[in-house]
Amino acid sequence: MSNTRRSFLKQASLAGLASASLPYWFAPSSMANPFRSPNARPVLGCIGTGDRWDSVGPAAMNFSDCVAVCDVDAAHVEKGKATALSKQSKAGAERTVDMYEDYRKLLDRKDIEVVTIVTPDHWHSKIAIEAMRAGKDVYCEKPLTLTIEEGKQIRKVLDETGRVFQVGTQQRSEMGLRFLHAVALVREGRIGELKTVTCAIGGAPSSGPINVADVPKGLNWDMWLGQAPMTEYRFKDTGSKYGNSRCHYEFRWWYEYSGGKMTDWGAHHVDIAAWAFNLENTGPVKVEPVMAKHPVPFKDGLPTDPSQYNTATNFHVTATFKNGSVLHIRDTANDLGFDNGLMLEGTEGRIFVNRGKLTGAAVDSMKDKPLKEETLKALYKGKEPGNHMKNFFECIADRTQPISDVHSHHRAMTVCHLANIAIRLDRTIQWDPETEQIVNDPAAAVWQAREQRKGYEIQV
């Protein structure tokens, strides 16, 4: 390492924590497209083209050429086609972009090598499994699964097919690299042995009763529901873009389609906590509901009012590990001085990190003792952090697994799913991380999977 790089390491290691500066080993060419030749660019298909895809899709098109978009909402798929044509035309890539309502027609295309999946959560697993079986590499938004069993299924198919799979937990790659540096501080023992992590992830909103309404023109409601139970479409105009509904962005607040904030923001912050705890191949032994509030009554884990949002508005759950370490998952930690972010506490200090800052004595000490280059490179699997989508396409090129891989994401999401099971049933869950089974509670163990509506089952 040259003297120039050594000097830059000392200065930028701290700067990268306090601002959005790039990691110290970046050269000007580091952000270059791993597929520089137009003939080498993978062929892309995009499944789900709603609001979130407006970021994911164009990012993927920086490294690939989109030839097909798919969505069960006609307005979304038309917007997706227009976005793809505009993006690629400006880049000088004149491609025909086909539109589909049924994702299976897109997966049947032999020319498509890579897919993005940006659908509601309850569709992720089925589409991802079928995409891998069809020989596609996959970028899927978080949370990857709705149940623990789905995580096992995706992991099995990934191992069988050898596809490259990136989960959209961008905090591992971006956000000024604060989260990567926080984990590196833990791995280097800067706060001693990590004993407690508190994640504040926010609570879900409540809606009040939402009336049954006509399905909007152009929306295939049956296919949008997929594996979820058939039910009436509901909508209430609130003056916001989507109002209160069972569909589009608002699906997050219905257990039928998502897990509320526990899996929405939990997929980000609990993932970082699991990364810090080094839980890629293990998990908790006990998950306890300290407190939870739902906007509707529950019976045997099921909401009894189908007319309004049903995921938890407030909660505090603890996950205890075999070595005695504890993870707290809360809607807010105002009593600790923060309402979003992670507090990581060790035997010799603590640090706080969220998308805006990284603080603590260990951070301050980096002025004189920068993080080790090998620590950061090992955490990021030898590649340069700073761009989540670039990492995915680099891994496609060399056939390695990206930074947000299926195995580690499944373990992190297992904690979130167990937390939701605990608060829905209002009792402590005992978990065997080796067998990946709820123990001594057959009624709770049923919740590791879900009933699948006929015609939409996952075939593994």
CA distances from 158 to 40, 46, 125, 145, 417 (A): 24, 19, 12, 14, 21
Together in a domain, 19 and 108: yes
Alpha-carbon distance 372 to 164, whole Å? 28
Together in a domain, 340 and 244: yes
Spatial contact of 175 and 355, defined as CB atoms under 8 Å apart: yes
389 belongs to a structural domain: no
CATH number, position 370: 3.30.360
Together in a domain, 103 and 230: no
- Our count of domains for the chain comes to 2
CA distances from 318 to 125, 155, 371, 382, 430 (A): 27, 26, 31, 33, 12
* pLDDT of the residue at 18: 40
63 belongs to a structural domain: yes
CATH number, position 131: 3.40.50.720
Name the nearest CA neighbour of 45 among 94, 108, 133, 122: 108
Together in a domain, 164 and 298: no
Q: What is the largest CA-CA distance in the chain?
A: 68
Together in a domain, 241 and 316: yes
443 belongs to a structural domain: yes
Give 324: exposed, middle or buried? Use CB within 10 Å, 0-12, 13-18, 19+.
exposed
Q: Which two tokens stand for residue 90?
A: 């400006």
Dump strand ranges (E) for 3-105. 43-47, 65-70, 98-100
411 belongs to a structural domain: yes
Together in a domain, 201 and 160: no
Alpha-carbon distance 92 to 107, whole Å? 26
Together in a domain, 237 and 364: yes
Which amino acid makes up residue 332?
Answer: T
Together in a domain, 231 and 373: yes
Spatial contact of 430 and 437, defined as CB atoms under 8 Å apart: no
Together in a domain, 164 and 281: no
* pLDDT of the residue at 145: 98
454 belongs to a structural domain: no
* pLDDT of the residue at 323: 93
11 belongs to a structural domain: yes
334 belongs to a structural domain: yes
Together in a domain, 220 and 133: no
pLDDT tens track, the chain, 460 positions = 344 444 434 443 444 444 333 344 443 344 456 666 667 899 999 999 999 999 999 999 999 999 999 999 999 999 999 999 999 987 777 789 999 999 999 999 999 999 999 999 999 999 999 999 999 999 999 999 999 999 999 999 999 999 999 999 999 999 999 999 999 999 999 999 999 999 999 999 999 999 999 999 999 999 999 999 999 999 999 999 999 999 999 999 999 999 999 999 999 999 999 999 998 889 999 999 999 999 999 999 999 999 999 999 999 999 999 999 999 999 999 999 999 999 999 999 999 999 999 999 999 999 999 999 999 999 999 999 999 999 999 999 999 999 999 999 999 999 999 999 999 999 999 999 999 999 999 999 999 999 999 999 998 8
Together in a domain, 151 and 179: no
* pLDDT of the residue at 91: 72
Together in a domain, 111 and 133: yes
Q: Which two tokens stand for residue 24?
A: 């110290």
458 belongs to a structural domain: no
pTM: 0.93
Which residue range(s) make up the domain with 120?
3-172+394-398
* pLDDT of the residue at 40: 81
